[in-house]
């Protein structure tokens, strides 16, 4: 059995499609490298459906646990640093806000079958933690500037791209 991270150039799929697709049978997914753009992942529809089923089940379990008992949120807050070590840099109130937002966003994303919003939320919170981890950056971003820089001009539509 080949590793899950089998990779080929996209041109191999085009030029040697039978041999390349045979590699997919040996692996759960195939990474297709592209010269002119973003790499692609090729998998079977059955495998993609299985992956979505697993993610959906994990999401439903997490949301049910988080909402079940008053102490369950404390348990979630306790295990978050194991799953996301960067939460240690967040202020305590932000860790709680992150936990609630994580559960709510995962539940909403699962309901529409698209996890992009969860990934975006995790990246945003990680960047927030990075700011809190750097005292100089945190001071620069939270300093009161005591100045009003005046009204912001309306952008020229030609400058907005």
* Whether the Cβ atoms of residue 106 and residue 62 lie closer than 8 Å to each other: yes
pLDDT greater at residue 70 or residue 101: 101
CA distance 115 to 118: 5
Token pair of 62 as six digits: 């997490």
Structure tokens at 22: 């045979």
C-alpha torsion angle, residues 111, 112, 117, 122 (rounded to 10): 30
Instruction: Look at residue 3 in the predicted model and tell me its pLDDT.
Output: 47
Whether the pLDDT of residue 25 is over 90: the answer is no
Domain ranges of the chain: 6-43, 50-142
In this structure, the dihedral spanned by the alpha carbons of residues 30, 43, 13 and 16, taken in order and rounded to 10 degrees, is 90
Mean model confidence pLDDT for the chain: 86
Q: Rounded distance, CA 62 to CA 83, Å?
A: 13
Q: Which CATH number fits domain 6-43: 3.30.70.20, 3.55.10.10, 3.40.1620.10, 3.40.50.2300?
A: 3.40.1620.10
The whole-model pTM stands at 0.71
């Amino acid at each position: 059995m080949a590793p899950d991270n089998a990779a080929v150039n996209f041109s191999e799929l085009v030029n040697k499609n039978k041999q390349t697709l045979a590699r997919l049978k040996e692996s759960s997914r195939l990474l297709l490298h592209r010269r002119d753009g973003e790499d692609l992942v090729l998998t079977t529809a059955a495998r993609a459906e299985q992956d979505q089923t697993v993610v959906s089940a994990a999401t439903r379990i997490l949301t049910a646990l988080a909402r079940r008992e008053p102490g369950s949120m404390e348990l979630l807050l306790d295990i978050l640093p194991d799953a996301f070590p960067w939460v240690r840099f967040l202020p305590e109130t932000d860790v709680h806000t992150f936990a609630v937002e994580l559960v709510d966003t995962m539940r909403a994303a699962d309901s529409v079958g698209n996890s992009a919003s969860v990934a975006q939320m995790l990246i945003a919170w990680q960047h927030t933690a990075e700011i809190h981890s750097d005292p100089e950056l945190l001071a620069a971003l939270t300093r009161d500037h005591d100045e009003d820089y005046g009204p912001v001009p309306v952008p020229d539509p030609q400058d907005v791209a």
